């Protein structure tokens, strides 16, 4: 972290709104502006610099970080930090921070602008008029008053869109599995979100005249609107995406528009930007495409410039790292001692994130035996939490921001320690539950030698190496089922390395659970085929990492 600095040296490497310099001055910092530097020029310029400020043009690479011996912070005016080698920065103890809130209003307003443009064909009408056509009949529009807007992802931008839409007399429904109804009414009174009905995604798609996406791009949300979900949308509905390319299957969207099932789409973001010449949506009259303009307003550029300057100055003065996307690693000696437990905690978090169908509202994390007495055991809870959250979030979840992100998602974290670990020297137990405990899953693990092991999963005692791919099946407890599953996986070229099996407890008489450890990644078709077996009730693929 930062050392006390008498006169911190800050270099602004990209064109930034001048308000940033004024903000630095307010903290007594005279920032130097030096834009357009390539790697070689940066390597010359960075020795002695304590902070670098970038937008997206300047690349802060590993060699630049290695040359910057006094650097403590890199600030990105904006959200994405793809132009900064965050791993190299973390290794060198350099904090990387972004400014995620400065674009919120501007991006929300673009979604509303696209919604209105879609309803009244504004870009098409403009093109037609300039082209010498006066095509009034072909450009018949629709009112938005009284229409239903479905907001997918009710975070910062989704809320701006929802509020503006209600001001335009639209009815707003929303889907956000990480927001509870209680959370909505709490934010509702603060943020004017009363009157928004939270729905399941499929219900939202069936009810909405307009659907607007505001979720991050994560493993969970990639392809969120594929062919099947697009088919659920109301006839004549319109889609807006100002979030991220990759959320919508663009080929499936083109087909839905072709078939006339959807009346239009407006996309500010595409899977490939700029799109290739043969992109299926490029020459379509009922599609509006904008070049990732979400954050492009004077106000947003000013906001992110002020935010980054304020955050950097505060960090240099007080060591407070707001909006850090990385976090310095544990000291090396501690990391060595805790490493196998940290890996175990991370694998437990990853397993439970993939095991739960409903959003997690309560986490109970218990350390038992010797591990409970080690220094820095808080790191184990944080490692668990980071892995638990990572799967549903875009960008970096780290030790610094994980507790805050958990609380934003209304997760209650309870921590406990027990002197005895029963038959084990050390035990980590984690239980996660959904709202009102309708869904609960438990996993316990220990470290044998240097390797982590799961020893209990729900009510099944196991000896499971938590790595690679697992296939979890529930099936009728009858002879031959395991053989059928194994044969089918073999036909799909998926090799099984080990099977853990057990009955599922008295209350589920006649059912068994099996964990197949796999050498290969099972395809979606292979899992579907397993699910299709008569005796199999459910099959779930869990990827625990290499």
**Active-site annotation, residues:** 244, 273, 292
Please identify which residue in 269, 327, 470, 527 interacts with ligand NAD, judged by CB under 6 A. Answer: 269
Q: Write down how long the chain is.
A: 546
Q: Is 268 in the site for ligand NAD (CB under 6 A)?
A: yes
Contact between 24 and 309 (Cβ < 8 Å): yes
Q: Is 175 in the site for ligand NAD (CB under 6 A)?
A: yes
Q: Is 366 in the site for ligand NAD (CB under 6 A)?
A: no
Segment contacting ligand NAD by CB under 6 A, of 132-140, 191-199, 214-222, 418-426:
214-222
Give me the least distance between CB of 269 and ligand NAD, in Å please. 5
Which lies closer to ligand NAD via its Cβ, residue 250 or residue 268?
268
Which lies closer to ligand NAD via its Cβ, residue 153 or residue 328?
153
Q: Is 294 in the site for ligand NAD (CB under 6 A)?
A: yes
Considering only residues 80 to 119 of the shown chain, the ones binding ligand NAD according to CB under 6 A are 100, 103-104, 107
Considering only residues 338 to 357 of the shown chain, the ones binding ligand NAD according to CB under 6 A are none
b/e sequence 347-361, b meaning 16+ C-beta within 10 Å: bbbbbbbbbbeebbb
Q: Is 214 in the site for ligand NAD (CB under 6 A)?
A: yes
Which lies closer to ligand NAD via its Cβ, residue 263 or residue 389?
389
Give me the least distance between CB of 526 and ligand NAD, in Å please. 24
CA dihedral angle for residue 265, residue 268, residue 271, residue 273, rounded to 10 degrees: 130
* 489/469 Cα distance (integer angstroms): 13
* 448/465 Cα distance (integer angstroms): 10
Give the E-state strand segments of 311-411 in sequence order.
362-369
Helix (H), strand (E), coil (C) string for 167-198? HCCCEEEEECCCCCHHHHHHHHHHHCCCCCEE
Please identify which residue in 62, 261, 279, 292 interacts with ligand NAD, judged by CB under 6 A. Answer: 292
Which lies closer to ligand NAD via its Cβ, residue 302 or residue 537?
302
Number of shown-chain residues binding ligand NAD (CB under 6 A): 33
Please identify which residue in 29, 253, 295, 411 interacts with ligand NAD, judged by CB under 6 A. Answer: 295
Sketch the per residue contact string, 179 through 198, with ligand NAD: x for CB under 6 A, - otherwise: x-------------------
Helix (H), strand (E), coil (C) string for 191-257? HCCCCCEECCHHHHHHHCCEEEECCCCCCCCCCCECHHHHHHCCCCEEEEECCCCCCECHHHHHHHH
DSSP structure class, residue 103: T
* 49/12 Cα distance (integer angstroms): 10
* 388/521 Cα distance (integer angstroms): 21
User: Measured on CA atoms in the order 471, 475, 479, 485, is the torsion positive or negative?
Assistant: negative
b/e sequence 185-224, b meaning 16+ C-beta within 10 Å: eebeeeeebeebebbebeebbebbbbbbbbbebbeebeeb
Give me the least distance between CB of 96 and ligand NAD, in Å please. 17
Which lies closer to ligand NAD via its Cβ, residue 104 or residue 350?
104
Give me the least distance between CB of 107 and ligand NAD, in Å please. 4
Give me the least distance between CB of 483 and ligand NAD, in Å please. 37
Q: Is 250 in the site for ligand NAD (CB under 6 A)?
A: no
b/e sequence 20-41, b meaning 16+ C-beta within 10 Å: bbebbeebebebeebeebeeee
Contact between 181 and 208 (Cβ < 8 Å): no
Q: Is 215 in the site for ligand NAD (CB under 6 A)?
A: yes
Q: Is 39 in the site for ligand NAD (CB under 6 A)?
A: no
Give me the least distance between CB of 201 and ligand NAD, in Å please. 7
* 251/539 Cα distance (integer angstroms): 29
**Closest residue to ligand NAD: CB criterion:** 155
Please identify which residue in 150, 177, 246, 522 interacts with ligand NAD, judged by CB under 6 A. Answer: 177
What SS3 class is residue 522?
A: coil
Please identify which residue in 99, 208, 212, 221 interacts with ligand NAD, judged by CB under 6 A. Answer: 221
Give me the least distance between CB of 295 and ligand NAD, in Å please. 5
Q: Is 220 in the site for ligand NAD (CB under 6 A)?
A: yes
Give me the least distance between CB of 212 and ligand NAD, in Å please. 11
Give me the least distance between CB of 437 and ligand NAD, in Å please. 21
Q: Is 502 in the site for ligand NAD (CB under 6 A)?
A: no
Q: Is 246 in the site for ligand NAD (CB under 6 A)?
A: no
Please identify which residue in 9, 55, 238, 244 interacts with ligand NAD, judged by CB under 6 A. Answer: 244
End-to-end CA distance of the chain: 31
Q: Is 28 left (phi over 0), alpha (psi -120 to 50) or beta?
A: left
C-alpha distances (whole Å) from 55 to each of 26, 78, 187, 295 are 21, 7, 31, 12
Q: Is 256 in the site for ligand NAD (CB under 6 A)?
A: no
* 338/85 Cα distance (integer angstroms): 26
Which lies closer to ligand NAD via its Cβ, residue 187 or residue 511?
187
Instruction: Please work out, in degrees rounded to the nearest 5, the angle formed at the alpha carbon of residue 508 by the alpha carbons of 502 and 513.
Output: 30
Q: Is 383 in the site for ligand NAD (CB under 6 A)?
A: no
Give me the least distance between CB of 200 and ligand NAD, in Å please. 11
Considering only residues 132 to 161 of the shown chain, the ones binding ligand NAD according to CB under 6 A are 152-158
* 53/45 Cα distance (integer angstroms): 13
* 223/219 Cα distance (integer angstroms): 9
Please identify which residue in 65, 119, 162, 242 interacts with ligand NAD, judged by CB under 6 A. Answer: 242
Q: Which two structure tokens, joined as six digits, stand for 238?
A: 């319109």
Sites of contact with ligand NAD (CB under 6 A): 79, 100, 103-104, 107, 152-158, 175-179, 214-217, 220-221, 242-244, 268-269, 292, 294-295, 392, 394
């Amino acid at each position: 972290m930062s050392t006390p600095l008498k006169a911190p040296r800050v270099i602004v490497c990209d064109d930034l709104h001048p308000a940033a310099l004024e903000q630095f001055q307010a903290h007594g910092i005279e920032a130097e502006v030096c834009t357009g530097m390539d790697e070689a020029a940066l390597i010359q310029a960075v020795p002695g610099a304590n902070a670098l400020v970038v937008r997206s043009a300047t690349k802060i690479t590993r060699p630049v970080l290695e040359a910057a011996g006094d650097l403590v912070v890199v600030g990105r005016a904006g959200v994405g930090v793809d132009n900064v080698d965050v791993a190299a920065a973390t290794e060198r103890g350099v904090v990387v921070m972004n400014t995620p809130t400065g674009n919120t209003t501007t991006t929300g307003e673009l979604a509303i602008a696209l919604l209105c443009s879609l309803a009244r064909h504004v870009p098409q009408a403009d093109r037609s008029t300039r082209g010498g056509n006066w095509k009034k009949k072909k450009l018949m529009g629709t009112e938005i008053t009284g229409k239903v807007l479905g907001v997918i992802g009710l975070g910062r931008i989704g809320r701006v869109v929802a509020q503006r839409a209600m001001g335009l007399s639209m009815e707003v429904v929303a889907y956000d599995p990480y927001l509870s109804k209680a959370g909505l009414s709490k934010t509702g009174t603060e943020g004017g979100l009363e009157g928004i009905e939270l729905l399941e995604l499929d219900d939202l798609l069936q009810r909405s005249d307009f659907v607007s996406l505001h979720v991050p791009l994560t493993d969970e949300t990639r392809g969120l609107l594929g062919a099947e979900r697009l088919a659920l949308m109301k006839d004549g509905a319109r889609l807006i995406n100002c979030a991220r390319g990759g959320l919508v299957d663009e080929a499936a969207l083109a087909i839905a528009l072709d078939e006339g099932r959807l009346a239009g789409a407006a996309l500010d973001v595409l899977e490939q930007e700029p799109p290739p010449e043969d992109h299926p949506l490029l020459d379509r009259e009922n599609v509006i495409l904008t070049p990732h303009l979400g954050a492009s307003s004077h106000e947003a550029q000013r906001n992110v410039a002020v935010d980054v300057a304020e955050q950097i100055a505060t960090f240099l003065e007080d060591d407070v790292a707001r909006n850090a996307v990385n976090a310095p690693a544990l000291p090396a000696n501690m990391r060595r001692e805790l490493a196998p437990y940290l890996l175990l905690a991370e694998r437990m978090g990853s397993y439970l994130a993939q095991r739960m169908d409903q959003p997690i509202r309560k986490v109970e994390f218990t350390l038992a035996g010797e591990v409970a007495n080690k220094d820095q055991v808080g790191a184990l809870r944080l490692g668990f939490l980071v892995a638990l959250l990572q799967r549903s979030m875009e960008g970096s979840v780290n030790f610094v921001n994980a507790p805050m992100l958990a609380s934003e998602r209304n997760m209650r974290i309870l921590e406990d320690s027990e002197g005895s670990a029963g038959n084990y020297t050390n035990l980590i137990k984690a239980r996660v539950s959904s709202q009102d405990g309708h869904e609960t899953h438990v996993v316990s693990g220990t470290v044998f030698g240097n390797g982590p092991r799961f020893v209990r999963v729900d009510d099944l005692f196991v000896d499971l190496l938590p790595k690679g791919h697992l296939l979890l099946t529930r099936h009728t407890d009858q002879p031959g089922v395991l053989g059928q599953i194994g044969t089918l996986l073999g036909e799909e070229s998926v090799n099984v390395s080990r099977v853990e099996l057990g009955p599922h407890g008295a209350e589920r008489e006649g059912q068994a659970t099996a964990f197949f450890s796999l050498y290969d990644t099972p395809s979606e078709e292979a899992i579907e085929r397993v699910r299709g077996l008569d005796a199999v009730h459910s099959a779930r693929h869990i990827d625990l990492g290499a």
